[in-house]
Amino acid sequence: MTQSAHWTDNIFAITLFAEDLEGAKAFYRRVFDLQTVFEGDTSAVFKFGGTLINIIAIQQADELIRPATAARPQDGARAVYTLRVEDVDARCADLAHRGVTLLNGPMDRPWGIRTASFQDPMGTIWELSCDL
């Protein structure tokens, strides 16, 4: 049996840890205009295209990642997730209308893209990107 796609061609799910699950759910609904595809007492799942973003209460992290430990948001960013958009400036204006404060940008990068970044309540960095 052969497989036509490489096993790394699709990220199925990304799990983020939330100290305030209700606040995180409200942020994702407001900012990304998404509804949950699953919601329980300790988690909520949103769908970004073909990728699921699973937000779970920080108290559940240990069970999921042991023996590793979850970092605290105040310890600094550990990853950046980039969303390709048609117009970074227009999307930033929409985010401002939704109450989002940018970390940086919009700015032109020397490698040929325009970007802007913001942070969710858990400390996750989201970057918007479009070609110059």
User: 83 with 116: CB under 8 angstroms?
Assistant: no
4 pLDDT band, cuts 50/70/90, is: low
Instruction: List all residues 6 or more positions away from 35 whose beta carbon is below 8 Å from its beta carbon.
Output: 29, 46
**pTM score of the predicted model:** 0.84
Burial of 14: CB neighbours in 10 Å, binned 0-12, 13-18, 19+: middle
pLDDT tens digits, residue range 22-54? 999 999 999 999 999 999 999 999 999 999 999
Contact 82, 131 (CB under 8 A): no
DSSP state of 101: P
pLDDT of 62 strictly over 80: yes
Beta strands in the chain (DSSP E): 13-18, 36-39, 43-48, 51-57, 80-84, 102-108, 113-119, 125-131
For residue range 65-100, list pLDDT tens digits in order. Answer: 999 888 888 888 878 999 999 999 999 999 999 999
Quote the pLDDT of residue 2: 52
The amino acid that residue 120 corresponds to is D
In this prediction, residue 1 has a pLDDT band, given cuts at 50, 70 and 90, of: very low
More confident position, 130 or 76: 130
91 by Cβ neighbours in 10 Å (0-12 / 13-18 / 19+) ranks as middle
Domains in the chain (CATH in brackets) are 1-69 (3.10.180.10), 77-132 (3.10.180.10)
Please give the Cα distance from 96 to 11 (Å, whole number).
29
Instruction: Taking residues 102-121, report their average pLDDT.
Output: 95
Helices (H), 34-102: 61-65, 88-97
Residue type at position 25: K
